Amino acid sequence: MFVSIILLWLCIWFIILQLKSWRPKNFPPGPPPLPILGNILHLSLENPLKDFERLRKTYGNVYSLFLGQRPAVVLCGTKAMKEALVNKATDFAGRPQDMFVNETTQRKGVILADYGPSWREHRRFALMTLRNFGLGKNSMEDRIYGELQYIINTLEKSIGKTMSPQNMFHNAASNIICQVLFGRRYEYDDKFIKVIVQCFTENAKLANGPWAMLYDSFPLIRNLPLPFTKAFKNAETCQNLAIHLVNEHKKTKVPGEPRDFVDCYLDELDKRVDDGSSFSEKQLIMYALDLHFAGTDTTSNTLLTGFLYLTAYPHIQERCQQEIDKVLEGKHRASFDDRHNMPYMQAVIHEVQRVANTVPLSVFHLTTKDTELMGYSIPKGMLIIPNLTSVLNEEGQWKFPHEFNPENFLNDQGEFVKPEAFMPFSAGTRVCLGEGLARMELFLIMVTLLRKFKFIWPEDAGEPDFTPVYGVTLTPKPYSMKVQLREMR
């Protein structure tokens, strides 16, 4: 018995030494890890954002923790974030390839792809193709306005009534990116859009939820029939839908006359036969789903956040409408260039993005080489967690860091200004591919709807609840609003 106890303590001591050896000299500080569990008990599995902030206050803006036995470095604050993602962008440009989100996407696509030739090829292709299909041009405005008519029709049917905007905004954002990717839109009750939006929504919650954290921290549980298996079924469902669309394109496309992103990729595939390229149909499937998810979830949740706050703060909504009426007087519709004459509207949209904090932990990075950050030594292959929440709410960077206030983006002369801490799309080499499209969508949709409608918080709905639901993207809790028609000016 005595020998057994001694052996047990020796095993525990050995495990502790193993874990401690992961914090080499000059490595960022952090809470002491437990054997096997690491720091998993320091984090709420449901929503760890407050725990990340609590640890920042104890250990500073660059600290380490263990997800199970895996070490990670958490970046907080504008200074650390810019040094890592902008000044040393290449050093921090990797992506982990052995986590839950990678498994569900089969390590394909562009968002989660590791840093290297394949990623660079595909990112260049995406930027060029999106530009060719009108990003920043009138043709993209036309696509957005085409979808806006369906939003307006939905709202006109709700005049004088209370309605829930969740599905409307999710479906609209999905359709705009669908037109770019697949050259078509779907009615809001179409099975395709219902299924794919539902799968995206569920997987966004699963991917940053407790089961994904356990999946990443404890590899031994990966083959067990636990709730995270739902994400793999959802991913398979989406892949089958995308395969069907790609097969349709292959039958109907005319070489050299691309109608959309998928046609462009298929044309590129034809050019690269047997050249050892990373382009493939399997890549195309996940690539399209990557872009569809990124272009749907973030934009729709930002719109939902925006109209939640605009209904809760009617004086801000009214001031937006006064500026819109003045700038657009006599014009049929707004153009994206009109933003330069709408400093207050610009400030409101950016403040919505700041408080929406749609992707609070960005997408995890990985160091591509041994490097240094804020005086600490960070080894190659280290998991990096950019805590964007700490930047968007950082004391000293914002006039009102903990409240919704457009003055955060206005100077003393009432001019629009954008502080360097504003990075909801992340920053550097891995900055969001769809930032330009998202900015155009938010401006044109919000301006057009505020010009035509007044949005009111229902009297019987109680106080607005601004607490978001945690996931890969933060989502406002479901809410309803009343819609009234305004007199167009």
Q: What angle do CA 4, 6, 11 make, to 5 degrees?
A: 95
CB–CB of 76/51 below 8 Å? no
Give CA 466 to chain center in angstroms: 18
For strands 383-386 and 376-378, give the pairing: unpaired
Angle between helices 343-356 and 435-452 (to 10 degrees): 120
Per 3-state DSSP, the chain is made up of helix, strand and coil in percentages (nearest 5) of 55, 10, 35
Separation of alpha carbons 323 and 336, rounded Å: 15
Concatenated DSSP letters of 301-366:
HHHHHHHHHHHH-HHHHHHHHHHHHHHHTT-SS--GGGGGG-HHHHHHHHHHHHHH-SSTT-S-EE
427 vs 304: CA distance, rounded Å: 24
CB 101 within 8 A of CB 212: yes
Residues contacting 410, CB < 8 A, separation 6+: 343, 344, 347, 416, 417
If you count them, how many residues does the chain have?
A: 489
Look at the block and give the residue holding tokens 């929406």: 356
Calculate helix-pair angle for 191-207, 229-252, nearest 10 degrees.
Answer: 140
Amino acid type, 322: Q
Q: Is 98 helix (H, G, I), strand (E, B) or coil?
A: coil
Which tokens hold the place of 72? 């990670």
Q: CA separation (Å) from 475 to 17, 166, 231, 329, 472?
A: 41, 10, 18, 35, 9
Q: Is residue 320 marked as binding? A: no
- Binding positions for heme are 432
- Binding positions are 432
